[in-house]
A and B are shown apart, each in its own frame.
Chain A
Amino acid sequence: MTAAFSRFGNDLHTGRREFPIVRRRRLWYLLSAAVLVLLATIALVRGPNLGIEFTGGSEFQISGLASADQSTARDVVREHVPDNEPKITAVGSDGLRVQTEQLSSEETGALAEDLASAYSVPAANVSSSFIGPTWGGDVTFTALRAVVVFLVLVGGVMALYFRNVKASVAAMLALLHDMLLTAAVYVAVGFEITPATVIGFLTILGYSIYDTVVVFDKVRENTEDLASSPLTFEGNVERAVNQTLVRSINTSVVALLPVGSILVIGAFLLGAGTLKDISLSLFVGILAGTYSSIFLAPGFLTDLRRGERAIQEHDAEVAGRAPVEAPAAGPAQSDEADAADDAPEPAVLSASGARAHDAAPTDRDDGAAAVRHQPRRTTRRRRR
């Protein structure tokens, strides 16, 4: 299977196999927009499922339970606050978490005692907390402020790194998509939103950009010498996306494995809590980030840069000569063009590279080395 995967990677690299990702970009735009609109509609209808940190309330944690029967807790809470439906979740292997509306301190104490006696555990096993209704909102507000600061800073760094504002804009648009999609999925599915969810959400920022940087780096590399490229700009972007496809899949799988492992452990062994909340939002976000870095960001980049004069001229030139050179424009040649991007005269360069990096002392004295290089250069000349 891995051999097949690596052959798949080889074919993508040489262009022998190419998925129409950038060429069909309008399809992906439409698809993404449709999914976002659909999810956002559901989300608007449903409304967010906010955790106690956002709504405020009292929370009791009972540990060391012999039987984690939730109905006992429900009955006890109803005795105290008849008109409140408590939220009861399993926590850890032998614990329960009971969340109610905010109670006064006497009510809290009485309820804690009753819970302890109902489950026949010592009173010390029941801990009570209260969370003001503004706490979660405060976390979110500071987090959103952090997001804005982050976007401004990273937008600047990306523009400097790619020396191109449009690449930066495309990366930021893809990031925006990831954030919107994750948020929409969260609300639409009805996952509980807690400050830990917000933490996971914030980590998506870094991850999404990471993926996009990998793809855009390849785009930059392929278009460094655009004028001599046999492909249009769009074609180059397409090639870059396909060449980095294996990498994107690998990085996503590897990033998802630990996150998934926290998610499974968090959800099944620990029940509700920080681990599950962080990992769930990360899981959704990483999937969204992988999708957008492959299907959206390169498309945005192509559309944003299409209007540039140099690119238009080049594309027109390629379009003009395409029919003439079509038979020769096979993978072998484009492969060579790739290499030519990398080093204008690969044979010579890599020969000297070999000397510098690999066998400096021996190669210089070794007459055979010179003999060995000779036929290669001639081969190359002949082929040209």
Chain B
Amino acid sequence: MPAAPDSPRHRPVKDPVAAMPARRFALAALAVILLILGGGVGAGIARGGWQATPKLALDLEGGTQVILTASSLDGRPIDAATMEQARQIMSDRVNAIGVAETEISIQGGKNIVVDVPGRLDEKTSEALRRTAAMSFRPVLAVGDGTAGASDAGGASDAVPPSTTASVSPADGAAGGASDAGGASDAGGASDAGGASDAGGATDGGVPAWSPEQLTPAAQTIFTESTCADPRALAEQAETAAPTDLVVLCDEAGTTKYLLGPQSLEGAGVADAKVAPATNSQGQATGGYVVNMTFTSDAASKFGALTTALYNGEGATGQFAMVLDGTVISAPQVQAPTSSSASIEGDFTQESAQLLADQLRFGALPLKFTVQSEQQISATLGSDQLEKGLLAGLIGLLLVVLYAIAQYRVLAAVTTASLAVMGALAYGVITVMSNMPEIGYRLSLAGVAGLIVAIGFTADSFIVYFERVRDEIRDGRGIVSAVDHGWQRASRTIIASDTVNIIAAVVLYVLSTGGVRGFAFTLGLTTLLDLLVVFLFTHPILQVLARTRFFGKGHPLSGLDPNALGRDLPAYAGRGRVRDSASRRRRDAEEEPFESLAERKARRAREEAEARSASATTTDEEGTK
């Protein structure tokens, strides 16, 4: 038999100093974490207008959720940048309509989930489904978008530097005369006439870029337009035919453009890439350009446009790239080009990348189909939350009761651990839902995940306690059983939790909607489970093992060696009963002898038991 390592009679009840730091450190770390979380939530509520409770998802709060799935027009795989473009465009449209608190997010690669509080009106619904289109149009006039009724026509001097860009053949050969200062030669636009009205179709014979497109009516409309509501202009442009003139704004809403009929569709762009800018000697200047290439069909149209603009046949020397009713770039033509073009300008790497992404997206816009549109009334939502919480409470109560039945007073550790877990989960979820960058919302599936986590968390305590009991059954003293049991159990717990975390992360990354909400809480609670077991349950059990009640295996402690089939006198049985008496007789001369006597008796008993038991074992072995 392994000898019992500890003898309570001779050891002070107080903790040995040597083993203190790890325990203390763990508990202190946990206290710090709890304080930071609690303080963070408290400060957030006091100062930042946070809510004390986590924000709720639509299925608990009521509202409408629309899930749209993207499909590319030619079946190409959809990349993340394209989805982000689509999300941005959708978000701009919905914000323009003015639906408060609409959340649009990309989930599971090719789904866009739109959460709208309340009901979804027809207009918003339409704005979500519409495919974004890109077109190339010649610029007929440029104006200051912020001024109400600015001068029309040749308002080119008002062009802010941010919109200046120029286009030249992508090889960079041309472009010596690159003066990106503005469309100064566009002044001639004002003397044009001929086309009937701004919205009307042009005569077949007039080129799209011709100053003749600039009718007085068109100029009046252009003069009256402002960029105060760029989306309104964009909405109008959406309904206009490709042959109509349109007034549109740039992304910043500072510049307005009067654009001629569409010269070519966005689909003509074969690719768009960011490249470092070079000067005429081919040396890098440190700036960036966006290189576009065109399909052969589009190249001839683009060639015609740039040639005409370069030769001064246009109302201005600029053309505009319009994506979803917004002018994303309006470069000045530096040289005629056809199959490829290089857009130069005051780009940073990010702005160049953004433009390239926009061009690529516009070349192949995503088509969205509504997968589902679900409404949940606010009353049903609160009903579900209430019942969900009730289920959680009952589940928690049952787990605690079962733990008490199995582990007696040790169940207090389970309960306290679950309480710490609950506090941590509340803190983390509240912080994450209040931080605007994360904006987590608790859904019904998330609540279910939290409740299920009660059981899974308690499982790790069971694995630990049972392991400690095994060590006691093997004859270890309680303090050492806790330490050895922990070494084994912690491995099991880490392995199991790793599996759960993998499951949660994989599900979160690869799925949509409800699955995500569930995966999030599952992953979060698993992480918190690890934290609680390492920083609370184990240190607390270590501390408790050094108290008389647990350390000497009181029958109600759940670690009673007698109940676990160990009545070794050396560490528990007799010693505990006689404890107070033996304390007075400090020298304890006779103790070892008594232990030996006990031991002999026990050995005899065990051997007898062994013989009878081995008989049955051998029988079974024999029949095999």
Contacts and interface: CB of A to CB of B under 8 A. Distances in A.
B476 interface: yes
B59 interface: yes
A3 interface: yes
Nearest to A263: B391
A339 B2 contact: yes
A117 interface: no
Contact of B16 (A139, A264, A326, A362): A362
B391 A261 contact: yes
Interface stretch (A37-45, A57-65, A301-309): A57-65
Nearest to B560: A6
A358 B16 contact: yes
Given A270-B387, A376-B570, A254 B380 contact: no
B498 interface: yes
B445 A274 contact: yes
A150 B506 contact: yes
Interface in B205-263: none
Given A95-B380, A331-B614, A129 B373 contact: yes
Interface string B464-478: 001001100111110
Interface string A351-365: 101101111111100
A142 B304 CA distance: 47
A258 B588 contact: no
Interface string B389-418: 011101110110011011000000000000
Given A131-B374, A247-B466, A255-B456, A199 B518 contact: yes
B513 interface: yes
B463 interface: yes
B372 interface: yes
Contacts of A373: 3
Interface stretch (A69-77, A78-86, A181-189, A210-218): A210-218
A61 B375 contact: yes
B16 A360 contact: yes
Given A93-B383, A346-B2, A359-B16, A207 B502 contact: no
A275 B610 contact: no
A339 B475 contact: yes
Contact of A329 (B67, B618, B624): B618
A140 B587 CA distance: 73
Contacts of A371: 592
B78 interface: no
A143 interface: yes
B477 A142 contact: no
A38 B573 CA distance: 54
A3 B503 CA distance: 37
B458 interface: yes
Interface string A142-180: 110110011001100110010000000000000000000
B17 A273 contact: no
Nearest to B62: A127
B108 A142 contact: yes
Contact of A257 (B3, B377, B455): B455
B526 to A, nearest CB: 8
A146 B506 contact: yes
In terms of DSSP, what is the predominant structure of the interface of chain A? helix
Given A203-B518, A213-B499, A372 B7 contact: yes
A377 B514 CA distance: 62
B452 A275 contact: no
B273 interface: no
B543 interface: no
A203 to B, nearest CB: 7
The contact size tier of chain B is 35 or more
A23 interface: yes
B10 A368 contact: yes
Contact of B498 (A134, A135, A157): A157
A342 B474 contact: yes
Contacts of A124: 377
A226 interface: no
Contacts of A279: 448, 452
Interface stretch (B152-160, B278-286, B347-355, B484-492): B484-492
Contacts, number: 377
B10 A139 contact: no
Contacts of A377: 3
A10 interface: yes
Interface string B46-65: 00000000000001000000
B604 to A, nearest CB: 12
A39 to B, nearest CB: 25
B423 interface: no
A257 B375 contact: no
B507 interface: yes
Contacts of A5: 406
Contacts of B105: none
A380 B3 contact: yes
B470, B522, B624 — which one has the most chain A CB atoms within 10 A of its CB? B470
A360 B18 contact: yes
B466 A258 contact: no
Contact of A258 (B396, B522, B618): B396
Contacts of B498: 157, 161
Contacts of A6: 563-564
The 6 A-B pairs of least Cβ separation, nearest first, read: A258-B395, A354-B5, A346-B2, A330-B614, A330-B610, A10-B565
28 contacts: A7-B565, A14-B565, A16-B609, A92-B384, A127-B376, A129-B374, A138-B69, A138-B512, A139-B513, A149-B506, A154-B499, A161-B495, A195-B514, A199-B448, A199-B515, A213-B495, A244-B466, A255-B458, A255-B459, A258-B398, A259-B455, A262-B452, A275-B391, A326-B618, A327-B618, A339-B474, A353-B484, A360-B18
Interface of A: 2-3, 5-7, 9-11, 13-16, 18, 20, 23, 53, 59, 61, 63-64, 91-93, 95, 124-125, 127-132, 134-135, 138-139, 142-143, 145-146, 149-150, 153-154, 157-158, 161, 195-196, 198-199, 202-203, 205-207, 209-210, 213-214, 217, 221, 243-244, 246-247, 250-251, 253-262, 264-266, 269-270, 273-275, 278-279, 282, 322, 326-333, 335-336, 338-339, 342-343, 346-347, 350-351, 353-354, 356-363, 366, 368-369, 371-377, 379-380, 383
Given A202-B519, A361-B17, 4 more contacts: A273-B444, A331-B614, A354-B480, A383-B603
